[in-house]
Amino acid sequence: MNTDNDRIILRGMTFYGYHGARPEERFLGQRFVVDLEVGADLRTAGKSDDLAHTIDYGELYGETKRILEGPPLNLLEAVAERIAASALRHDGARWARVRVHKPGVPITGSILTEATVEITRVAARFDGDG
């Protein structure tokens, strides 16, 4: 049985942080929205109904919150990398896809809803190159 499509999805996690390359972003802060997908074989958890057999959603949320509300970073790319790395430290995590949305983009003269960075990373233990 193929479990490559099994995933845990946390969508719309919203935090207030001070990330950005501009001084005003680091001073005033702003809202960030994060979507996190973590690929894992969920069969055992589905059969056992036991939290010990899956990745705890609350832990994923808490780790993401600590990163977003923690020390400021210049780039959304750096924020996304830290979230992915944190998610991939969980036993059974095969891959992580992270979307970091920045709804209030301070680009002079811009008319846009948001800027978003999306990355996908594979755990070294599941990567054919590692």
Q: Give the residue numbers marked as catalytic.
A: 102
Q: How far apart are CA 31 and CA 105, in angstroms?
A: 10
Type of residue at 71:
P
d(CA 112, CA 104): 9
Structure tokens at 49: 């109904």
Task: Please give the sequence-ordered ranges of beta strands (E in DSSP) within 1-130, or none if there are none.
Answer: 7-17, 30-39, 95-102, 115-122
Helix (H, G, I), strand (E, B) or coil at 101: strand
